[in-house]
Each structure stands twice: as C-alpha cells, then as structure tokens.
A and B are shown apart, each in its own frame.
Chain A
C-alpha cells in the first residue's frame, strides 16, 4: 500500500516500485486521488478529478505489468494536466467562468502521448482564466480562485499553470502538464520551488489545447527534477499533423551524451543577480551561481542586443488572443471573467491595428536573425527565472517592488520575453529561498537542445537539495 513517503518520490523511484511490484498502479492512483481530493482545494489547485478513467487505466497498467509488458518509466504513474487540455468525459474549463460547463469529445495530444506510455491522468488542474490572455491584475483571476502557494498559502502559486505548480510542490501529483505562452511554466515552477521545462516551440503537439497565441504557445512538464522533466518530454514530444506548429521531431532524453560539462560555455550577466534581483533573493542566487561554476562550465558575461522584447511579445499575444477569443468578446460573455483588467485588455485588444501586429512580427524576425548567433559561442544562457519571490494573493500583481537602484544595463533580464518569442527551450530549477519562499534559475539554450539544459540542471540537482525540499504545510 502507498505510504505518505511515496508522494514526493521521483518518476524513476516510482517506476522501480511499480516494476518490483512493491506497489500497484491502482494503489498509487487511489492514494494520489485521495490526496488530491483532500488537499487540492487548500491550494485551489484542483479543477476536476478524473477518478473513474484513472482507476480504469491503472487496472489496465497493472495487468500489463503482471505480464511484464513494460512501456517505459511513466507506466502506471499518476499525473495532472492543466485544465486547458481536452479530455473526454470531463469538463475543460480553461479556468474561466464562461467555459465552466465546456466538454470536448477529443483528447489533447499531450495527454494522449503520456497515456500511450501507460501514464495515468488523475486530475485536471486549476489555471488562470484563459491562461492570462490579455493580462490580469489579481491572482484571483481564475474560476477556482487564487492559486495558493504550498510554501505559504497567503502567497500566489504563480500563473498561468497555477494548479500544476502547486500540485507538484505539495505532492498531489508526481508531475503535471502546464503550458507557456510567456512565463506560464517558469513562473509557477519558480514560485513553488519545482522544476519546469518549457520545450522548444513545436516540440510538443498542441492539438486539443486551448489556443492563446498560435505563434507562441508551448506545452511542457512541471516536475520534481530535471531528470523527471527529461523523461516526460521524451514521452510528450513528436510530430503531429493536427498541429500546424508541430516541428515533427521527437526527443530522446540522454544527458550523458551532452559530454563533459567543462566543455560548455554559459552566458550570464552579474547585473541580473546583483542589481535587478530583489535584495532578499541575491544570497540564494549568488550561492547557486557558485555551485554551477563548480560544475566546470566556462562562464562568460553577455548581454542581449537591444530590442523592445516586452512590447513585441505583448503585442503578438494581445492580437492573436483577441482573434482567438473574438466571439467571447463580441457576445459580451467576456464580462463573466473574474479579472476586470483582463476583461478590459481583451476588449481593447480587439481594436489593435493589423499594422501594429505586423510591425511586432517584423521586429520579431529581426530578433531571430540577431539573437540566434549568440549560440555560436554560447551553449546555455542563465538568468533568474523571476527577479522576486511569489506575490501576496491579496495585492495587485502590478504593484512592483520598490527598486533602490537603477541598473545601467538590462543584462539578460529580457530573456523570458526573448526566449518565448524565439521558441527557445528553458528549464527553471529551484535554487534556494528568500523570506521562506522559493527562488529559481532559468537555463535557456538553442532550439531542440533540451538535453544540454537538462544535463546542467541535473548536475546542479545532484550537488544541491533545493528540489527535494518539501513544504511543511503539505
């Protein structure tokens, strides 16, 4: 029978237990369902349990395991999925009141791929309404209320994959699927102290997922470690003709083939860690940088070329999002959303000019030409996942902390916007705490080179134990 210690085990450990018949998939699934049911509402992490389907699948997996039909490391292991991924027989609310009763007959390709490897979906997880669409002002911008952080429930779990971040951090699922258009995997991963991977644009099919921005949406895993992220991406990635953005590539998780870490060159900028980051987070970042340097890579100071990254990213998302949600905006149901700022943003975005959108996409093309050569001399870029810890849930997300200094350069602080615009993969790893809340580092690399950041992130996690810490409230 599953014991409490099982809830924070890695995928590899759970797989070993299943293969050795120390626990059955049904026992594991029942244990996670009970834990999710009991604790999910505490963090506003749960959108819906998929109990019947999960127990049926777990039984089928147990039959396979009895017959020694092995389908890889995810077989029999429960997971959760952000509630923008369609799953027949259960609601898919997109985190938004106007879609509270919505169901689909189709299954999202990402879930289909995991189930094909024997994984067991136990819950749809809460999210910010419409994945944030035009922007939102309060953590409460969700059908299920503000995502509460397992490290301190008065603070936000991050968005828009709020439930995916908090559920993994609180041991409600071993791993979860999230999605990122601009920050929605990295933010909850950093705020909740878990490891999140934003894959290269096109690696993971978005078929059956709520679109927000066709040219920027990505689906990826939120897990306990870099190794777990690699194992999940291996099952997720692959070509899909139903997704026009699909790159048609598969991924093999093989960090051992990256070679010696001492042969890697890492680009970073001290200004990010020493001046842009909130003062309370700086000791954690300084220690994390030292730990990374001790692993052997060569570090080189770099700065991103000057571009209006945020302006381009927000224009693209606002314009594409307004087009996606045009019927909702025009028929007035947009007013049922929880966040007034988001309602206003979507309404205003409907009037964006086509020339503004095209200008943003033209600048984006120039960015791609100028930034891609960075990876001729660098293998990985590193900067804080976020410059501060999780916001309080009762405060406006727009009330930024007071800055005592004004750094002279931007360093790599625009890497979040740039990486999302250019489809680059990123890994967020927990690297310490500030005021009792987690902080994270983001590792970014060239497209389709996830093995590099997974190898460096994995090596960091062999030296540190930040990813193994468990919130006491959980």
Chain B
C-alpha cells in the first residue's frame, strides 16, 4: 500500500507524481502476505479443474449452441 506518512515531506504537486512510484513498490505487501510454501498456481489449476467438472454436470444437447457475440434485446 502507498505510504501516506511520506506525504508531508513533499509538496502536493511532488506527491501526486511520486504517489504512483511509491505505490508501484508498496503493493508487494499483498504478495508477501501469502503464506510461504503456498503453491497458488497449483491452487488455481485445481480450482479451474473443479469448476470444469461442475459445469460438465449441466445437461446440454448437441443443439445447444454457444453465445459467440452477446445480443441482448
């Protein structure tokens, strides 16, 4: 997250341009928050596999065409 405590050191104009730079580095906190050893890629692959199996249970016939371009009326 951006470090708003740093704002007092800069003029408002300087801060506006610097805020993006601070924030660009700071959100890494979000990455670091993930527990060590957690394999997120594997978790997501497993999530997608479970989701696909659930959708396979929905009854479809060969005549059920997909939506290729959503047309709403």
Q: Which residues of A contact B69 (CB under 8 A)?
A: 215, 244-245
Closest B residue to A41 by CB, please name it: B19
Contacts of A351 in B (CB 8 A): 45
Determine if B30 and A141 form an interchain contact, defined as CB atoms under 8 angstroms apart: yes
Partner of A49, one of B16, B56, B67: B16
Partner of A145, one of B26, B56, B58, B72: B26
Bound together, the chains give a CA A211 to CA B47 distance in angstroms of: 24
Q: Which A residues, 129 to 184, have Cβ-Cβ distances below 8 Å to chain B?
A: 134, 137-146
- Cα distance A366–B65 in the bound complex, in angstroms: 9
Q: Known: A49-B16, A338-B30, A393-B1. Contact between A365 and B65, CB under 8 A? A: yes
- Among residues of A, the one whose C-beta sits closest to the C-beta of B51 is A311
0/1 per residue, A396-427, Cβ < 8 Å to B? 10000000000000000000000000111000
A-B contact number at CB 8 A: 156
Please determine whether A340 and B72 come into contact, CB atoms closer than 8 angstroms. no
Once A142-B27, A201-B72 are accepted as A-B contacts, the answer to whether A363 and B60 lie under 8 Å apart by CB is yes
User: Is B20 a contact partner of A143 (Cβ separation < 8 A)?
Assistant: yes
Cβ–Cβ < 8 Å partners of A42 in chain B: 4
Residues of A within 8 A of B73 (CB): 447-448
| Consensus secondary structure, chain B interface | helix
A16 within 8 A of B: no
Q: Are A215 and B67 CB-contacts (below 8 A) given A41-B7, A338-B31, A341-B40?
A: yes
Q: Known contacts A141-B27, A142-B27, A344-B41; decide if A423 and B72 are in contact (CB<8 Å).
A: yes
A356 with B44: in contact, given A38-B12, A138-B33, A362-B65 (CB under 8 Å)?
no
**B1 cross-chain contacts in A, Cβ below 8 A:** 44, 140, 145-146, 393
Decide: A144 and B2 in contact? CB cutoff 8 A.
yes
Is A118 in contact with chain B by the CB < 8 A criterion?
Answer: no
Please count how many residues in chain A sit with their CB below 8 Å of the partner chain's CB atoms: 70
* Residues on B with beta carbons closer than 8 Å to the beta carbon of A139: 30
- Closest B-chain residue to A364, C-beta based? B67
Chain B 26-70: CB-based contact to A (< 8 A → 1; otherwise 0): 111111011000001101110110011011101010001111111
Residues of B within 8 A of A82 (CB): none
Which of B12, B26, B55, B70 is the most central at the interface, judged by chain A CB atoms within 10 Å of its CB? B70
- Assuming the A-B contacts A47-B20, A140-B29, A144-B2, are A362 and B64 also in contact, with contact meaning beta carbons closer than 8 angstroms in the complex? yes
Q: A310: nearest residue on chain B (CB-CB)?
A: B51
A142 CB contacts on chain B under 8 angstroms: 23, 27
Residues of B participating in the A interface, judged by any CB pair closer than 8 Å: 1-2, 4, 7, 12-13, 15-16, 19-20, 22-24, 26-31, 33-34, 40-41, 43-45, 47-48, 51-52, 54-56, 58, 60, 64-70, 72-73
4 interchain residue pairs of minimum CB distance: A338-B27, A361-B66, A344-B40, A145-B2
For the A-B complex with A244-B69, A349-B48, A359-B52 known, give 7 more contacts whose Cβ atoms are closer than 8 Å: A140-B30, A144-B2, A145-B2, A314-B51, A359-B60, A361-B68, A362-B60
